[in-house]
Amino acid sequence: MLREINIDWIKWIDAVWLRAEKIQEIADKYDFHELDIEACLEENQRSRVDVYDDYLFILLNFPKYNRNQKIYEQNEFNIFLWKWFIITFRDYPNTHVDNIFDKYSNLNELKKEIDEDEEHKLTSAFVLYEILQAMLEKLFKVRLNISKDLKVLEKSVFEWAQIALVKDIMIKKRNIVVLKHMLKPQRSVFKLIEFQVNKLFDSEIEVYFEDLEDKLEYVVNEIEMQEEHIDSIEDAFKSLTDIKMNWIMTVLTLFSAFLLPLTLITGFYWMNVEPLFMADKPWFVYWIIILSISIMIMSYIYFKKKWKL
């Protein structure tokens, strides 16, 4: 999908799932650097800002939730910014960005909604700010969703610590690690964006990008705390699993200890070996049963004192 609008003297070109040939065509039209074009065409690029005389190239990564696999995937944003244009290449559709694009699609109606003091904000830098602001707002929802998932997971672990929970714990842990690795390096990128945008535009826009930095910092800190939380849940799950396994082994050990005397005595007398003590007396079987039960009771008393059962 490719679309563009003119906001006064600013052009915004927005592309989603664009074919490599079309990306190359747009890049050649604006004479972008070949390394930036390569970054747009290749996947899993690191976040960065490249500064040129004619434009800024900004590469950011935001999470995209895969509902089928219940994991977060990397949604790459490639942004070319200059005073009179902004070009955005995205890997996935995003309703937040679409809403911003629709808002600017009808400039006449937009101008009726804003006062004269706000008109100066209609720069490519302010459009970039709104895009990043929307994506960070989405990250706040991601953070809240993860927090809710962790509370449910923690409750499940302590209520019914089953092996099936291992998969849920590992998926949640993987999502948190992906978000951390995706967003943590972008703190320095956001600082560089603020610095470069402040050089290109008036200083009044600087406060908006400082706000973005604070929000990203908050999200990253929250994710780091969630990482500690999921680690504690995993440790609790392992401890509960070990306790259950130890209890099962204890029961099996006690069961074996109780049956061992009976098995030994009955096995000895059932071998039909002559002569055995009182083997020819039918009533002696009752003494064997009494002896076995007595040994079992003494074993129980011993283990109870020894293991404090």
Number of residues that this document lists for the chain: 309
- The domain 2-242 is placed in CATH, from the list 3.30.460.20, 3.40.640.10, 1.10.340.30, 3.30.2130.30, at 3.30.460.20
Give dist(CA 213, CA 199) in Å, integer.
Answer: 17
Residue-wise pLDDT for 254-288, tens only, equals: 777 667 767 776 676 665 555 566 666 677 777 77
Nearby residues of 215 by Cβ (< 8 Å), 6 or more positions away? 133, 136, 139, 140
Looking at the chain, the number of H-run helices and the number of E-run strands are 9, 6
Comma-separated ranges of CATH 3.30.460.20 domains in the chain: 2-242
- From the list 62, 74, 57, the residue with the least C-alpha distance to 219 is 62
| Spans of the chain below 70 pLDDT | 107-121, 160-163, 202-204, 257-258, 261, 265-266, 268-281, 306-309
* pTM tops 0.75: no
HSE (CB half, 13 Å, CA atoms) of 82?
A: 13
pLDDT in tens, 174-192: 899 889 989 988 999 999 9
Beta-sheet pairing, 71-82 with 56-66 = antiparallel
Residues 111, 117, 123, 126: is their CA dihedral positive or negative?
A: negative
Output the CA–CA distances (angstroms, integers) from residue 40 to 29, 87, 122, 306, in the order listed.
15, 12, 26, 69
d(CA 309, CA 307): 5
Q: Where are the beta strands (DSSP E) in the chain?
A: 2-7, 10-16, 48-51, 56-66, 71-82, 85-90
- Which among 83, 79, 62 has a CA at the least distance from the CA of 27? 79
Q: What is the CA radius of gyration of the chain?
A: 34
Q: Alpha-carbon distance 195 to 189, whole Å?
A: 10
Note the pLDDT of residue 75: 87
